[in-house]
C-alpha cells in the first residue's frame, strides 16, 4: 500500500455514508447497529431512516443516536424501501455509499477493508460475498462468486444478468458519484434488479471478492424474497425483462445470456405460483424443467420472442399462464 493510501485510511479522511432503511425490525436492530457503530473505520455518516415503523424501532434508533454523533435520524410515513433509499442518497454527504438492511449485520472490518481495496485498486465499486440464513439457529450458508478480481463493466453486467453476481444493493460499496441519476422505483418489489445494473454501467471497473463481509438474514417471514405472490413475481419478471432489453441495446453480444434468464424466469414463476394449487400442473412443470436446459431455452427463444409461446405449449401451459394475470395479459396482447 503506497503512503497516500495509508495516510488516507489512517486519518479517516474519506467519509462513508451508511444508509439503513428501517421498518418494523426492532427485534434485529441492536445487532445491526452494533455492527455499524463499531466499525474499525471511524469516519462514517450513519443515516437511519424509519419508514413508519409500528413497533418500537424508533426507541432503539434514538438510543443509539443519543450516544453517537455520527448518526442522523429521519422519520417518514411508510413509503417503501425504494423511497427510503432514494431519500438516503439525497441526504448522503459521503464519498462512498453502503446500504445495510436493518435486519442484517456487517463484519466490523467491512468499511476499512473495502475502502482500502477501493483505493489501492482504483476501482469504483467493491462487490463482496455474504453469509445468509438464520443466524439465530446457526443455519447459515455462504454465497461466493465464480470469478473474482477486477472486472470491467461488461464482464460485471454479464455475471449480473446471469445471476452469478446478485443485484442486492447491500452487497457492495461504491463511490457516491456512480449513483448519479439513479432512482429506485417507488412502491415496487425487487427494485435492485432494475437499479443495480445501471449503477454498474456508471462504473469503469469493479472489484469482486469472496470475503463474506455481509450477513444477510434470509429467514424472516415478511421478507420480500420469501413471499411468492403475483405482485412480487410481476415486479421481478417485469424488471428482468426491462433490464434484458436495455442491456441488449448496449451489449448486443450478451443477448443469449439475457434471453435464457428471462425464459427461465417465466417458467419458474409460472410453476412456482401454480404448485400450490394443482398437482397435475406440478407434474407437467417438472417434466418441462427436466429437459436439457440449453436445448430447451434455445428452442423456446425463437418462439418466445415471436410471441407464439401459448400456441406452442397448448392448453396445458395456457392454463398455467391464465392463473397468473400479468403473464396472461403479456401474452394475450402479443399473439
3-state secondary structure 23-66: CCCHHHHHHHHHHHHCCCCCCEEEEEEEECCCCCHHHHHHHHHC
Q: Does 170 lie in the same domain as 32? A: yes
Q: What is the predicted pLDDT for the residue at 268?
A: 62
3-state SS class at 250: helix
Q: Does 237 lie in the same domain as 215? A: no
Q: What is the predicted pLDDT for the residue at 279?
A: 52
Nearest-CA neighbor of 84 among 68, 73, 70, 95?
A: 73
Domains of the chain: total: 2
Q: Does 235 lie in the same domain as 217? A: no
Last residue of a domain, one of 206, 225, 244: 225
pLDDT tens track of the chain, all 335 residues? 455 555 555 567 899 999 999 999 999 999 999 999 999 999 999 999 999 999 999 999 999 999 999 999 999 999 999 999 999 999 999 999 999 999 999 999 999 999 999 999 999 999 999 999 988 888 899 999 999 999 999 999 999 988 899 999 999 999 999 999 999 999 888 899 899 999 999 999 999 999 999 999 986 555 444 455 556 767 777 788 788 888 989 998 887 676 666 666 666 665 555 544 545 444 544 454 454 444 444 544 444 444 444 444 444 455 544 544 444 444 444 44
Scanning 190-292, the segments in alpha helix (DSSP H) are 191-201, 230-250, 255-275, 279-290
pTM: 0.80
Q: Which domain holds residue 259?
A: 228-332
Q: Does 309 lie in the same domain as 208? A: no
Q: Does 165 lie in the same domain as 54? A: yes
Q: CATH number of the domain that 116 lies in?
A: 3.90.550.10
The conformation of residue 180, written as its DSSP 8-state character, comes to: T
Residues in the chain: 335
Q: What is the predicted pLDDT for the residue at 12?
A: 76
Last residue of a domain, one of 199, 225, 251: 225
Q: What is the predicted pLDDT for the residue at 185?
A: 93
Q: What is the predicted pLDDT for the residue at 72?
A: 98
Q: Does 168 lie in the same domain as 137? A: yes
Contact 193, 167 (CB under 8 A): yes
Q: What is the predicted pLDDT for the residue at 295?
A: 45
Amino acid at each position: 500500500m503506497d503512503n497516500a493510501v495509508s495516510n488516507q485510511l489512517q486519518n479517516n479522511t474519506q467519509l462513508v455514508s451508511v444508509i439503513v432503511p428501517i421498518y418494523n425490525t426492532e427485534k434485529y436492530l441492536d445487532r445491526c447497529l452494533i455492527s455499524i457503530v463499531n466499525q474499525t473505520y471511524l469516519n462514517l455518516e450513519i443515516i437511519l431512516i424509519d419508514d413508519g415503523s409500528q413497533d418500537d424501532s424508533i426507541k432503539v434508533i434514538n438510543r443509539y443516536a443519543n450516544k453517537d454523533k455520527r448518526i442522523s435520524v429521519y422519520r417518514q410515513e411508510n413509503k417503501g424501501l425504494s423511497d427510503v433509499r432514494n431519500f438516503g442518497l439525497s441526504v448522503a454527504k459521503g464519498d462512498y455509499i453502503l446500504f445495510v438492511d436493518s435486519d442484517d449485520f456487517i463484519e466490523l472490518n467491512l468499511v476499512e477493508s473495502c475502502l482500502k481495496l477501493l483505493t489501492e485498486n482504483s476501482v469504483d465499486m467493491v462487490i463482496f460475498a455474504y453469509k445468509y440464513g438464520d443466524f439465530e439457529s446457526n443455519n447459515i450458508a455462504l454465497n461466493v462468486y465464480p470469478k473474482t478480481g477486477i472486472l470491467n463493466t461488461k464482464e460485471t453486467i454479464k455475471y449480473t444478468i446471469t445471476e452469478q453476481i446478485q443485484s442486492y444493493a447491500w452487497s457492495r460499496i461504491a463511490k457516491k458519484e456512480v449513483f448519479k441519476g439513479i432512482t429506485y422505483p417507488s412502491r415496487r418489489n425487487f427494485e435492485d434488479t432494475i437499479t443495480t445494473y445501471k449503477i454498474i454501467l456508471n462504473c469503469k471497473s469493479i472489484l469482486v471478492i469472496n470475503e463474506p463481509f455481509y450477513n444477510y438474514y434470509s429467514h424472516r417471514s415478511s421478507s420480500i424474497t420469501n413471499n411468492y405472490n403475483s405482485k412480487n413475481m410481476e415486479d421481478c419478471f417485469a424488471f428482468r425483462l426491462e433490464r434484458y432489453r436495455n442491456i441488449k441495446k448496449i451489449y448486443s453480444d450478451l443477448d443469449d445470456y439475457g434471453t435464457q434468464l428471462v425464459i427461465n424466469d417465466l417458467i419458474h414463476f409460472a410453476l412456482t405460483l401454480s404448485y400450490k394449487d394443482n398437482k397435475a400442473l406440478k407434474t407437467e412443470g417438472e417434466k418441462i424443467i427436466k429437459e436439457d436446459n440449453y436445448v430447451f431455452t434455445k428452442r423456446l427463444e425463437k418462439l418466445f420472442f415471436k410471441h407464439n409461446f401459448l400456441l406452442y405449449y397448448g392448453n396445458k401451459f395456457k392454463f398455467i399462464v391464465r392463473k397468473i394475470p400479468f403473464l396472461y395479459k403479456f401474452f394475450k396482447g402479443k399473439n
